[in-house]
Structure 1
Amino acid sequence: MLTLKRTLFWSLSTLLLSTGSAVAADLEVTDARLRLLPGDLPGAGYFTLHNRGDSAVTLTGAGSEAFSKVMMHVSTEEDGMAKMHRVERVDIDPGEDFTFAPKGHHLMFMQRTKALAVGDSVDVTFTFKAHDPLPVTFDVVSPAAQ
C-alpha cells in the first residue's frame, strides 16, 4: 500500500510539474550533488538555489522516490562539538542565492529504496511554501567529494 501511495504521489507531482510554472522559471538549482555513503547510511545533498524572481521564496522540503526520507538539516559547532539540527524552512530573498554545502545547510537522504552507485543521478522534487514544486536532478558522487 505504501508503494502505491508513493507511486501516486510522484505521478501527481510529475503531472503538476508538466503543466509549467512561472516560479520554476525564476528558480534555478546548480551544482546539485548527493554524497553517497556505503550501505544504508544517509547521504548528504548539496546545491545552490538561485532566486531570480522578484519575491522571496521559502523552501520547505524535498522528496525523492530513491529515498524514504529527505530532510533539511544544518550543521553547527557549539563548544567545540559538531552538531546537526533539522531545519523546517529556508527563506531566499529575491535576487539572492542560498547554498547548501558541507558544514552548513544540507539535505539528508535516508533509507534508500533502490540501489545507487557513484555516477548515477537521482530525481528530487523541492517543495515551497505558496509556490509550485521544482524538479532537480542530483549527481551521485563519492563520500570524498565536496
Structure 2
Amino acid sequence: MKSHALLLLLAGLMVTSGVHATEAEHVRASHAWLRVLPGDLPAGAYVTLENDGAQPAVLSGASSPLYADVMLHKSSSDGGMSRMAMVDSLSVPAHGKAVLAPAGYHLMLMKAIHPVKPGDTITLNLKFADGSTLATNFLARPANAVDSGP
C-alpha cells in the first residue's frame, strides 16, 4: 500500500514539473533576417517574435557562434537626430508579438568570425530572462535590404 501511494506521489510530481514551460517554448520566431554590411561593420538582425503564452516572455539577449558579440539595441529619432542605445531586454506580451525591425529594436552582431555573405543562413540563440533559449535561423541579406517581407 505504501509503495502505491509513493508511486502516485511521484507521478503527480512528474506531471506538475512539466506544467511550467519555459519562455522560449511559448515564442515563435518568423521573418528572421540580418543585414550584412561591408568590411568589419556590424550586422543588424531583425525578427518577429510571437508569444502564445499567458505570461510575457522577456528577450534578454542573443548569441551566435559566428559573432564575437550580439547586443540588443533600440534605434530612435528625436528632433531629426537618430540615436541608437543598448537595452537590457524586450518584453514580448502574452498572446502578442514584438517586432525587431530597422529603425526600432534590433540585434547588433559584432566582429564576425568569418565573412558572412548575402544568402548565408546564420543561427542566433535568442536568450530569455528565465534562462531558456530559442535557436533561430536568420537569412543574410545585402546592405540595401529594407524589410524581410511576409
Aligned residue pairs, count: 126
Cα offsets for 1:42-78 (capped at 9, x unmatched):
0000110000111111110000011001001111112
Measured after TM superposition, the shift of residue 114 of structure 1 is: 1.6
Q: What corresponds to 2:3 in structure 1?
A: none
Task: Tell me what 2:38 maps to.
Answer: 38
Secondary structure of the structure 2 residue equivalent to 1:118: coil
> What displacement does 1:115 show?
2.1
Structure 2 unaligned regions, length at least 5: 1-19
1:40 to partner: Cα distance:
0.8
SS in 2 for 1:37: coil
- Distance apart, 1:32 and its partner CA: 0.4
Q: Which runs of 5+ in 1 are unaligned?
A: 1-20
> What is the TM-score with the length of structure 2 in the denominator?
0.80
Q: What is the Cα deviation at residue 22 of structure 1?
A: 4.0
User: What is the rounded CA distance, in whole Å, between the counterparts of 2:26 and 2:57 in structure 1?
Assistant: 10
Partner residue of 2:50?
50
Partner of 2:72: 72
Q: State, as a whole percentage, how many aligned pairs show the same letter.
A: 33
Quote the Cα distance in structure 1 between the aligned partners of 2:57 and 2:116: 31
The residue aligned with 2:90 is 90
Q: Measure the CA separation in 2 of the matches of 1:22 and 1:136.
A: 19
Name the CA distance, whole Å, in 2 between partners of 1:131 and 1:54: 18
> 1:84-123 maps to which residues of 2 (within 5 A)?
84-123=84-123
Equivalent position amino acid for 2:66 in 1: A
Q: How big is the alpha-carbon RMSD for the aligned residues of Structure 1 and Structure 2?
A: 1.3
Q: Which has the larger radius of gyration?
A: 2
**SS of alignment partner, residue 33 of structure 2:** strand
Q: Which residue of 2 aligns with 1:140?
A: 140
